Structure 1
Amino acid sequence: MTDDVARRSVLMAGPAVALGGALTGAAQAADGLQLSAPQLERAMRFHVLIGPAQELGQVDGVRKRIIPITGGTVDGPRLQGRILPGGADWQSIRADGTADIFARYSIEAKDGTIISVTNPGYRHGPASVLGRIAAGEDVDPAIYYFRTTPRFEVAQDSPHGWLGRTVFLCTAARYRDHVRLDIFAVA
């Protein structure tokens, strides 16, 4: 029986060993190829109007709140339109002050196309800076971190179908009554 178990182990390991050898050969062949670093192209700027935070309190040890999205504008070389009221930013504020952000809202493009946006990200910085932001002060966005990765859902056959097949990065700033998002397409 011991021989039978040992034989099965060898038989099962055979394909993995063979595949591992093939992968090693492929990795060696690809060693000389250089992948290019992604380039960023400014696609649009959002000016997102927000309402007062709705505090949920501590949920599973994390402070939770919802920030209503009440409207706004979209301007840029690749998209223009307006942000529709009715979305929100669901935030989990960690003990270290990091805001784990998940926003969901809709845009109406200038041509009438409706586009859905989901936008997860993080905002963090020194406690004194975060306190100033919470107090409604305008704070230089260079002294805290606020980055998101927006995703767009849109009809593929619309003029804006490119949004649903492109990766985006965003740098953001939080103000008393709005959030500014500069969104870059990753080329």
Structure 2
Amino acid sequence: MSNEQITAVIPSLRLLYRSEVEIDAPLCVGHLAVGERRIINITGGTFTGPRLNGVILPGGADWQIIRPDGITAVEARYTLKTDDGALIYVDNRGFRHGPPDVMARLAAGEPVDPNLYYFRTTPVFETGAKEYQWLNGIVAVAVGERHADKVIITAYEVT
């Protein structure tokens, strides 16, 4: 074994964007063996950040499973369109959970402090646009906030 000291690289976070995702009311497919399936259609929205800005195109959705343990597994897929016309596909998966009373308030559409529940995701990006191809090779994490008529997603690049 060498006497060399191992230097670890400690990652940090760099803001990608803050988005406001407009949504429809949940469609409840029903109870399955793994939990309750819900689909929340995305109707539009915007995103702003230091390196990319634009709109969220309608047509995406969040395919959720509310598991028996109370954890909501989210799987949102949608398209960003940058101000300069580039299209970026996003596959954003993660979890939302919290104390039962807090989650009941969220489900009822009440305003809830996002510090009272956990809502984290890992967006993966795909684009053929030359100026945004750097997104194809990054790891990202995001923090979500659920509101009655929208979801706020703040995405960060792990550096």
TM, length-normalised to structure 2: 0.96
Once residues 63 and 175 of structure 1 are traced to their aligned partners in structure 2, the CA distance between those partners, rounded to angstroms, is 20
Q: Which runs of 5+ in 1 are unaligned?
A: 1-27
* Matching residue of 2:38: 65
Number of positions where the alignment pairs a residue of Structure 1 with one of Structure 2: 159
- Identity in percent: 44
Q: What displacement does 1:32 show? A: 2.5
Q: Of the candidates 108, 113, 126, which is equivalent to residue 140 of structure 1?
A: 113
Provide runs of 4+ in structure 1 moved above 4 Å: none
Unaligned runs of 5+ in 2: none
Deviation at 1:29, TM superposition (A): 4.2
Aligned to 1:170: 142
2:5 aligned with 1:46: no
SS at match of 1:129: helix
The one of the two structures with greater contact order (alpha-carbon pairs below 8 A, sep at least 6) is 2
SS in 2 for 1:131: helix
| Amino acid in structure 1 at the alignment position of 2:57 | L
Partner of 2:104: 131
Alignment RMSD (CA, Å): 1.3
- Structure with the bigger percentage of strand: 2
TM-score (norm 1): 0.82
Shift of residue 87, structure 1, vs aligned partner: 0.3
The answer to whether residue 108 in structure 2 is matched with residue 161 in structure 1 is no
Q: Which has the larger radius of gyration?
A: 1
Larger helix proportion of the pair: 1
Question: Taking structure 1 as reference, are residues 95 and 32 closer, same or farther at Cα in structure 2, changes over 3 Å only?
Answer: same
Aligned residue for 2:130, secondary structure, equals: coil
